[in-house]
Amino acid sequence: MRKIHLVTSCSNSKHRGKVTLSLHEIRTQVSKEAFAKSWCEFVDSVAVDDLLPAYQRYKGSHWSVAKSCMEEFDAQLWVMSAGLGLLHSETLIPNYQATFASGSIDSISLEPGSRLGANRSWWRELTENKWSRIRQSPQSIMLLMQQYPNDRFVICGSNDYIGAVEEDLSKGLEHLAYASEQVLVITSGKAKFDSLEHVLLRSQGLMKESLGCNMITLNISLAKRVVQWVSEEQNVSFQRIKSEFTPTLVSKSCSERKPGVRRAEMEVKAYISKALKQEPKVSASALLKRFRAEGNSFEQRRFMAAFRNVKEQQ
């Protein structure tokens, strides 16, 4: 039986160790040319007793869904780590802070205009490094697909992570006989990945209700549903999943979404006044969420203004 491999991005949330490796700290200590080499040496210096299996090190909602694919469907779980390269879920790793995303002092690139190129270069450095403490095989997505040419792969990550590994992933596709039936790359947004278009599946916000998730876990929840479909129907093709199965997640969400009843400002203020008498410390955002969940409709900005007005008068 062919295995299914789920390859997903790492999690920013991690269980702490005695040492926390920070990309920012290394960046401030060495030259740009020595950055990658120094980081890898820094990682290798962590004591063995401060390492944990990746599936135990990572935590958070994204990782919880990813781990459930391994536990519920026996998927092989792999991680695209911005700090350590490609990891199997059982690989022993230290606590670290590094990301391909922007907006963090531990981002691989701090220059927006050069982020994609910097991320790709960094991924090459990580996958080509000869780790001494973190022993992992295969070290790249290409080598993973080369080692398991008959298996199926679901790759899941944000645009930043898919962009970082695109070249590695494209090389991996060359080792598969039927890439479009063996690989599905799940991401969101509109970023272009020319070499991956034939295996790309973009998640949509309208899928949230069907998948029972939020925007943070949208991609990994869609990946889990794909893994579930493949587990239930071994011979189902990824092309069929893209053309027949996935659209039902959107159409179901659209059909389940009923428009709220529009309320006048006087009705909204009466609702807020009653709620505040029963629950004086309720927040405006929590009350608006409850208001809409009860089938009502009112513009958020106007609701917040009405809330402040009613509270001031009480």
Instruction: Tell me if 92 sits within 8 A of 57, measured CB to CB.
Output: no
Give per-residue pLDDT as tens, 116-155: 999 999 999 999 887 666 666 788 999 999 999 999 999 9
Mean pLDDT across 43-53: 92
110 pLDDT tier (thresholds 50, 70, 90): confident
Q: State the burial class of residue 38 (Cβ atoms within 10 Å of its Cβ: 0-12, 13-18, 19+).
A: middle
CA–CA separation, 193 and 190 (whole Å): 9
Q: Identify the pLDDT of residue 314.
A: 76
**pLDDT of 231 above 70:** yes
Q: Report the residue count for the chain.
A: 314
pLDDT of residue 242: 93
Spatial distance between the Cα atoms of 256 and 217, rounded to a whole number of angstroms: 20
Alpha-carbon Rg for the chain in angstroms:
23
Q: Which helix (H) or strand (E) holds 183?
A: strand 183-187
Range with the poorest average pLDDT among 30-44, 103-117, 126-140 = 126-140
pLDDT at position 295, please?
Answer: 86
Lowest mean pLDDT among 53-67, 92-106, 159-173, 285-299: 285-299
**pLDDT reported for residue 233:** 87
Cα–Cα distance, 262 to 268 (Å, whole number)? 10
Q: What is the pLDDT of residue 79?
A: 97
Q: How far apart are CA 31 and CA 25, in angstroms?
A: 12
φ, ψ dihedrals at 305, nearest 5°: -65, -40
Confidence check: pLDDT of 255 > 70: no
Residues with Cβ within 8 Å of residue 64, at least 6 apart in sequence: none
* Cis before 94 (ω within 30): no
- What average pLDDT is seen over the chain? 91
User: Alpha carbon of 282 to those of 36, 279, 287, 304: distances in Å?
Assistant: 50, 6, 7, 13
Measured in degrees and rounded to the nearest 5, phi and psi for residue 248 equal -65, -25
Strand partners, 183: 153
Q: Which residue has the higher pLDDT, 157 or 102?
A: 157
pLDDT at residue 285 is higher than 90: no
Mean pLDDT computed over 174-203: 94
Point out the least confidently predicted range of 133-137, 191-195, 196-200: 133-137
- Core vs surface per residue 56-89: b (16+ CB within 10 A) or e: ebbeeebbebbbbbbeebebbbbbbbbbbbbbbb
What does the pLDDT read at residue 289?
85
Question: Which residue type sits at 43?
Answer: V
Which amino acid belongs to residue 156?
C
Q: Please, what sign has the CA dihedral across residues 229, 232, 234, 236? A: negative
Average pLDDT over residues 247-274: 81
Question: Which residue ranges make up each domain of the chain?
Answer: 4-254, 261-313
